[in-house]
Chains A and B, each alone.
Chain A
Amino acid sequence: MLKSHSLRTAVVAGLATLTLSTPVLASDEPIKVGMMLPFSGVYGALGDATRNGLKMALQEQVSRLHGRKIEYIEIDTEARPERAPEIASSLLNNSEADFIIGPVHSGVAMGMLKVLRGKDTVMIVPNAGAGPVTGPLCAPNVFRTSFSSWQPSYPMGNVALDKGYRKVVTMSWNYGMGKESLDAFEESFTAGGGEIVKKILVPFPKTEFQAYLSEIASINPDAVFVFFAGGGAVKFVKDYDALGLKGKIPLLGSGFLTEGTLEAQGSAAEGVLTTLHYADTLDNELNGQFRASYQQQFGKASDIYAVQGYDTGLMIASAVNQLSGDISDQKALIRALESTMVRSPRGDFTFSSAHNPVQNIYLRSVENGENRVVEIAAPALADPARGCKL
């Protein structure tokens, strides 16, 4: 089936070439893929995984690239927002990159957008969840293959209501991603009749949680919903357990609470419920294949960041294939990207009109040091994309 399809597109492409007076030289020049990812520092591991996934996908899809070679231009952003505009404009003007992939960090995303919105290149965000990217600041040439910060947290409100929780304390660091996550949870939770009895915003990157947890214990709510990631997530989950709250007040979180942190959290994370657009243990054929070949190629386990990079690669390959290798017409390229259905290890997803994935959000529970999928918390969930006029 796939073969006959590509044969047909090849024939169509061949005919198209014949009808043109000048031969298409598309295949001579490589497709330039610029990367703006953190390859060093705190987010270094995330940047590496994204790059690995991206390259792996484009290698697997080589037959769909119509002979076009890929040239990678990799630049380390060090996750520093102030450097973003300069790097982005260098990739745009000097390297003339066809695609600019990045970033991991939402602050860097804002700097990139300032330069790249509406320009003659396609920006694909493989991680940063900042709402405005596919909200008020959305643009025809900007796509996202990861999530909006609203997406993973919104379904947890309904999960909490289903479990009979009515009074919940929410808590996160006082920064964009954290606040957007708490707001999304609050939106669905209060709409269903739940009450946020206290919202705690901790100065970033403070990890002294003991005072706040003592206060939560004295409030004794039905459940606690939090957003923390990385080292802060490790510390929070360990403190929550150590201070005795874990067995008594259920802990809910945006999926990043238990992503890449489970080994460090140890037994303290057992039973924590989170929602996210992926889980390593997701039981489908593609995910199994993906994880096995990633492990084989890079000698370590894949993670969500590798999946997001991989899907970015799939998306590029699909668009190049739809256009038979000729991506010179930006409008046609954007249409091709918009109509792509990505067959991802996280499950198939499409793009909303604001260019954000319309995807399943899974409810996961930590069991034996793994995020086990309990159920689909929200099927094919689209971000409301408030403020986007696309």
Chain B
Amino acid sequence: MTTSLFLVQLINGLQYGLLLFLIASGLTLVFGVMGILNLAHGSMYMVGAYLVWYFVEHTGSFGLSALISAVIALLIGILMERTLIRQLYRRNHLDQVLLTIGMIFVFNALQGLLWGNDPLGVAVPAALSSAIPVTDVLEYPVYRIFVALLCVGIAAVMYFMINKTRLGMLIRAGESNREMVECLGIDIRKLYTIVFAIGVMLAAVAGVAAAPMSSIVPGMGEHILITCFVVVVIGGMGSIKGAFIAALLVGLVDTFASVLVPQLSSMMIYILMAFILLIKPQGLFSS
């Protein structure tokens, strides 16, 4: 492998990893704060992609469509938490799995009814559609760099929010001792609604961002969900920092394995996970 190809693959891996972080962060946030294992998280990634496709078809503006989709996702998140997820707080993980798997089926059926089964695509927004030449043949699309930077930005905002703001303090407090937070006169239920809705919105935003560089197809959520779980487990369930490191690790391992050991590439991220769990059974940064 030449140096330039190595560098290109490094960027590919980081870029894939950053997108994985964006999807996985919502999953791990919700689990860390609320103890809810939301298997329908991948469905929200799918919903984000379909929503942005739908609004781009009708408004023609990607930016506007992205904004509308994010707001709708936030509302869906609030609705889900208020009606369904709320019933689960005093129940065990098996009940959570049953309900959230059921929600996957509901979202898939809705997607089929509303938008059909044909693969769909969204064009890259015109302002970001140029590319930077890397080698004689290869170019790097500006949109992909933009998405990578967006993911870094969101990671920074999340870090700031959790560590430096009042909401973040409540989240951290709620994580470690729910009863005590309630005793201090804070409405933990409102906090949970906010956290869950943010989690849902993060998945949907990832779907929105991914839409122009992928195909929008039925079942896209389940496929990404499995990879996200690998990220969350490696990072340590509930740890945002862990998810960030793990996502980059998974992105890099998957990218280089594809090129260097193609026969093993579908297994490599699972081998990585098994290896890390052997050394750190709770993941890299368990909370």
Chain A contact residues, CB within 8 Å of chain B: 40-45, 200-203, 205-208, 210-215, 217-218, 220, 230-235, 238-239, 242-245, 248-249, 260-261, 263-267
A214 to B4, CA, bound (A): 10
Task: Select from chain B the residue with minimum beta-carbon distance to A205.
Answer: B223
How many chain B residues touch A (CB < 8 A): the figure is 46
Task: Select from chain B the residue with minimum beta-carbon distance to A204.
Answer: B266
B144 touches A242 (CB 8 A): yes
Residues of A within 8 A of B119 (CB): 230-231, 233-234, 260-261, 264
Which one, B9, B15, B117, contacts A44 given CB within 8 A?
B117
B140 touches A243 (CB 8 A): yes
Chosen A-B contacts, 17 in total, with CB atoms closer than 8 Å, are: A45-B117, A210-B16, A211-B254, A214-B138, A215-B5, A218-B5, A218-B137, A218-B138, A231-B217, A231-B220, A234-B119, A234-B121, A242-B213, A244-B138, A264-B118, A264-B119, A264-B215
B117 touches A217 (CB 8 A): no
B265 touches A203 (CB 8 A): yes
Q: How many A-B residue pairs have CB under 8 A?
A: 122
Interface residues as binary, B172-209 with A (CB distance below 8 Å gives 1, 0 otherwise)? 00000000000000000000000000000000000000
B214 touches A217 (CB 8 A): no
B137 touches A244 (CB 8 A): yes
Residues of B within 8 A of A214 (CB): 5, 8-9, 12, 138, 259
- In the assembled complex, the CB of B248 is this many whole angstroms from the nearest CB of chain A, namely 15
Residues of A within 8 A of B123 (CB): 266-267
Which one, B135, B223, B265, contacts A217 given CB within 8 A?
B135
Residues of B within 8 A of A243 (CB): 131, 138-141
A41-B117 contact, Cβ under 8 Å, with A212-B258, A243-B141 = yes
Task: Select from chain B the residue with minimum beta-carbon distance to A174.
Answer: B266
A59 to B124, CA, bound (A): 45
Residues of A within 8 A of B15 (CB): 210
A207 to B131, CA, bound (A): 21
What 3 A-B pairs are tightest by C-beta distance, nearest first? Answer: A244-B139, A264-B121, A231-B217
Residues of A within 8 A of B266 (CB): 203, 206
A200-B262 contact, Cβ under 8 Å, with A214-B9, A239-B213 = yes
Residues of A within 8 A of B223 (CB): 205
A342 to B251, CA, bound (A): 51
With an 8 A cutoff between CB atoms, is B2 at the interface?
Answer: yes
Residues of A within 8 A of B120 (CB): 263-264
Residues of A within 8 A of B259 (CB): 211-212, 214-215
Task: Select from chain A the residue with minimum beta-carbon distance to B7.
Answer: A214
A264-B16 contact, Cβ under 8 Å, with A215-B259, A249-B137 = no
A261 to B216, CA, bound (A): 11
A17 to B159, CA, bound (A): 87
- In the assembled complex, the CB of A146 is this many whole angstroms from the nearest CB of chain B, namely 20
Residues of A within 8 A of B133 (CB): 244
With an 8 A cutoff between CB atoms, is B116 at the interface?
Answer: yes
A249 to B139, CA, bound (A): 13
- In the assembled complex, the CB of B250 is this many whole angstroms from the nearest CB of chain A, namely 11
A41-B218 contact, Cβ under 8 Å, with A203-B266, A214-B138 = yes
A24 to B117, CA, bound (A): 46
Residues of B within 8 A of A212 (CB): 258-259
Interface residues as binary, B254-265 with A (CB distance below 8 Å gives 1, 0 otherwise)? 111011001001
Which one, B4, B213, B220, B255, contacts A211 given CB within 8 A?
B255
- Label chain A's interface by main secondary structure: helix
Which one, B4, B121, B135, B136, contacts A263 given CB within 8 A?
B121
* Candidate in B112, B215, B219, B254 with the most chain A CB atoms within 10 angstroms: B215
A218 to B137, CA, bound (A): 8
A242 to B117, CA, bound (A): 25
- In the assembled complex, the CB of B257 is this many whole angstroms from the nearest CB of chain A, namely 9
B16 touches A208 (CB 8 A): yes
- In the assembled complex, the CB of A288 is this many whole angstroms from the nearest CB of chain B, namely 24
Interface residues as binary, B211-229 with A (CB distance below 8 Å gives 1, 0 otherwise)? 0011111111001000000
A45-B118 contact, Cβ under 8 Å, with A208-B16, A212-B258, A244-B139 = yes
Residues of B within 8 A of A245 (CB): 137-138
- In the assembled complex, the CB of B183 is this many whole angstroms from the nearest CB of chain A, namely 48
Task: Select from chain B the residue with minimum beta-carbon distance to A206.
Answer: B266
Residues of B within 8 A of A238 (CB): 121, 213-215
- In the assembled complex, the CB of B225 is this many whole angstroms from the nearest CB of chain A, namely 14
A249 to B135, CA, bound (A): 14
Q: A41-B218, A233-B119, A245-B137 are in contact. List 12 more A-B contacts (CB 8 A).
A: A41-B117, A44-B112, A211-B9, A211-B255, A212-B259, A214-B138, A218-B8, A234-B119, A234-B121, A235-B215, A242-B131, A244-B131
A40-B112 contact, Cβ under 8 Å, with A206-B266, A208-B16, A210-B16 = yes
* Candidate in B13, B136, B139 with the most chain A CB atoms within 10 angstroms: B139
A266 to B53, CA, bound (A): 13
A232-B117 contact, Cβ under 8 Å, with A210-B255, A211-B259, A212-B258 = no
Residues of B within 8 A of A210 (CB): 12, 15-16, 255
* Candidate in B116, B119, B217, B265 with the most chain A CB atoms within 10 angstroms: B119
A44 to B41, CA, bound (A): 24
A248 to B124, CA, bound (A): 21
Task: Select from chain B the residue with minimum beta-carbon distance to A44.
Answer: B117
Residues of B within 8 A of A263 (CB): 118, 120-121
B117 touches A42 (CB 8 A): yes
- In the assembled complex, the CB of A250 is this many whole angstroms from the nearest CB of chain B, namely 12
- In the assembled complex, the CB of B21 is this many whole angstroms from the nearest CB of chain A, namely 15
Interface residues as binary, B12-41 with A (CB distance below 8 Å gives 1, 0 otherwise)? 110110000000000000000000000000
A206 to B262, CA, bound (A): 12
Residues of A within 8 A of B112 (CB): 40, 44
Residues of A within 8 A of B143 (CB): 242
- In the assembled complex, the CB of A157 is this many whole angstroms from the nearest CB of chain B, namely 23
